[in-house]
């Protein structure tokens, strides 16, 4: 299974970006998809997650500005990031907890990371 992320880049403060991440490979069911981010020298932190049923969870720092959504048929998760701030500048990692076969437990998978740079 591979997670391929798209959409990072550079934007001015107050602007917006949309990230997308598609899971590909042998997939039976994806329980949770989401995004984490990491700045140099810091731990990776939660941005937002969404379950297969559509329940969402957001970090307090992005509530009201970021929206996570998911297309289950396409195994793809999106992150709409509005009102971006300089402190949102980090590498964003796509995440999925999924089963490759019905008899297996869910496992965690990570994408390669995409850089988001917000200039002030």
Q: What is the pLDDT of residue 95?
A: 98
Neighbours of 60 (CB within 10 A): 6
The pLDDT tens digits for 38-66 are 998 999 999 999 999 999 999 999 999 99
Tokens found for residue 34: 């989401």
State percent of the chain over pLDDT 70.
Answer: 100
**Quick one: tokens of 84?**
């971006």
pLDDT tens per residue across span 79-90: 999 999 999 999
CA atoms of 19 and 61, how far apart (whole Å): 17
Q: What are the CA-CA distances from residue 98 to residues 11, 30, 91 (Å)?
A: 32, 4, 22
Q: Are 63 and 44 in contact (CB under 8 A)?
A: no
| Average pLDDT value over all residues in the chain | 97
Cβ 9 vs Cβ 81: under 8 Å: no
Q: What is the mean pLDDT of residues 92-106?
A: 96
What Å distances lie between residue 75 and 24, 96, 106, 117, CA to CA? 7, 10, 15, 26
């Amino acid at each position: 299974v591979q997670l391929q992320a798209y959409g990072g880049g550079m934007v001015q403060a107050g602007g917006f970006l949309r990230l997308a991440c598609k899971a590909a490979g042998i997939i039976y069911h994806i329980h949770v998809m989401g995004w984490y981010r990491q700045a140099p020298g810091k731990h990776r932190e939660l941005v937002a997650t969404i379950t297969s049923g559509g329940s969402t969870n957001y970090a307090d720092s992005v509530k009201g500005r970021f929206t996570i959504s998911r297309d289950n048929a396409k195994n793809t998760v999106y992150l709409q990031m509005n009102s971006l701030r300089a402190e949102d500048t980090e590498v964003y990692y796509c995440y999925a907890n999924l089963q490759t076969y019905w008899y297996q437990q869910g496992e965690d998978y990570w994408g390669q990371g995409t850089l988001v740079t917000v200039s002030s």
